[in-house]
Structure 1
Amino acid sequence: MAVSSVAPIRVALGGRSYDIHIGDRLLDEAMSHARRFIAPYGDRPVPVVADINARHHHGARLADSLAAEGFSIAWFDVAPGEGSKSWAELERLTDWLLSLGVTRKDHVFALGGGVVGDLVGFACAITKRGCGFVQLPTTLLAQVDSSVGGKTAINTRAGKNLIGAFHQPSLVLIDTQTLATLPQREMRSGFAEVLKYGLLGDAEFFAWLESNGNNVLAREPAALHYAISSSVAMKARIVAADERETEDRRALLNLGHTFGHALEAETGFSDKLLHGEGVALGMVLAARYSARRGEIAQADAERAASAIAAAGLPAALAPLGMACTGADLVEHMRHDKKAEGATLPFLLLRAIGEAYVARDVDLADIAAFLDEELAR
């Protein structure tokens, strides 16, 4: 029997609203939750796009859930890593969906982390001008962040997530049991996004994470459920208020990402720096730069850095061993999709739990700051 939240968390978007279920064996119950999205397939196999590791660990449970009701699965395997968020993989996936005869009324299932979710979401946004999809996130990072909110994209030579679309899922099933097989480095990477929610808008949650972070990382059930549900509930509220990031509300979710994406680009979007690790270090840099501007107490900036370091996440640039300058990192930032003409908004902090969008940041000053950080 799955241990689920008392009620699903609702992302309230009118006709595009959907539920997020959180529990410890939800893949075993996938059919009961997703029945209306599976039933139209009839005798056709249900398309499931899966990270190959996620399929190895969790595919049988999902297949058994569907088989119990007479449904089979057509599997599409995706290699792990950011390299799969590419034009080539997008073409391969959309051709496969068309070969299956997927219609606009069908739903495709995404089993895996953020890479699979982003790829499937974008493919479904453009296949026959839009079909449905269901998120089955299997990493902490995907469960608390990328599976919710409808941002879908692939990477290009110019940068990360520059080609994409807003396309909301129809359902998100968060099975916390999938985290049992997650490597600890990936667990820490996802925890960075959990810390983000506290830093950007909930000082009490951040303080709870400082005290209970080790329990979350150890996958203690109650702590893990609380961390995930709190994070998802905050994101659901923000997305409902500002779905397409036309106001500053949803932009707050990008805390750490402008710095982080530049670091990911400089390290070649490789396993030298995972996405969550880049976000973690990006939040340290955002906090320290905020202190440099006199907007947050230096002690609070270092408190943020200490919490990130205590979770085993990178909190300094020098250990990355990057042969670059601050100007090199700023050049990566110029390709950021949030750029507005010649300016670039930065997510900074006035306090723990109070992020804001700054549009008066001098990129030359950012370069000088990063040079200082590279030399720390």
Structure 2
Amino acid sequence: MPGYQVQSMPSKFDNVVVGMSGGVDSSLSAALFSDYPNVHGVYMQNWGKDQSLSRPEDDPCYEKEWKDAEKLANYLNIPIEFQNFEKDYWFNVFEPMLEQYSIGYTPNPDIGCNQFVKFGKLMNHLDMKFGKNNYWLVMGHYARVLKTDVASHEQQSHLLRGFYHQKDQSYYLSQVSTNALNQMLLPIGNLTKPEVREMAQELGLHTATKPDSQGICFVNNSQHGKFKNFLKEYLPTEPGNIVTVDEISGEKEVWGSHPGIWSYTIGQKIGISLPQGDPRYHGTWYVSEKNKETNEIVIVKGKDNRALFKDYIFVKGFKALSDISPTETFLKDAIDNGELVMQSRSLQTPVKISSIELLNHSEFTLKLQTKERAIAPGQYCCLYINDRVIGSGIIDLIR
């Protein structure tokens, strides 16, 4: 890419650690580095219900994944270790997620998992084992880490979108530390998913045709299988009203109840009965607002109702992916050049920004060029300049 060096590679006798999850992406990543003399595999168990600290064979979600990772390591003739990070996941990812749901936010635990576990606790463990900055960490994410061209300016590692935008995972990595970037290798970031499967097949990897995992493992294997029912196991029931609000008078009308403000998210279709014989209420209804103070969920008719579209957001807790936070001048120049965009969800079509106001180093307001549907408080606002991730923060207010 213009302005960037070719991907850095380990020297022959460097320590290379590969995160192995049992899927095809991490399998191919391991295979690509399997001929290094000092390569090591590591499998992370991050979830165990009620912090049981169970081994994989005690948890149906992890049993197959661990066996697949172990089988692959044996096939590639590389050592693999099992690490249990359930406590770290529970306290740093899961409990904060529950807290955010309880106040009406829509959090993203995958971002927290990358920040605190995969590129947090794991790297702390590897620092103790190999020495700080004395290893490379290989992961099977569809993203790229490239160093800037020394000839153009001071060399830094930047996180970039994956070449295969259909699987790009840079959004999920937007809260990792700058130090982690300097030791990170993402070999499949320059490949497409079909290429990954084809290469895995050619190398004889038994995971080559394994389906991609869908969603969060602990949700897929929860008792009820649905996220809403899963949350009921951990969050208190706090019934409230589901209401419509008259646009002119502001009067509210109650149409049902919810078990907790956490039970729906902005833009979600809601399955309650309204009088379908009345043209005012005939159609499908969606959540447009969640009010923590009144414990009410507001609904509107129609997937494209204007109440679901917003173009102003306030962001807090912004974390820059560089040693220096971007200045307002830097960001405004990117806006003037049509390069600064944001995403509130992974794989969302990037949204151009019309203006930005930095309130301090970690808070700012954004005005979007177009109104976007179903932006929800608690989601991460990730800023990009073209394909480069600038950083991300939590959306706290929309209008």
Same fold by TM-score greater than 0.5? no
Superposition TM-score, scaled by structure 1 size: 0.34
Superposition TM-score, scaled by structure 2 size: 0.32
**Larger C-alpha radius of gyration, 1 or 2?**
2
Between Structure 1 and Structure 2, the one with more helix by share is 1
Between Structure 1 and Structure 2, the one with more strand by share is 2
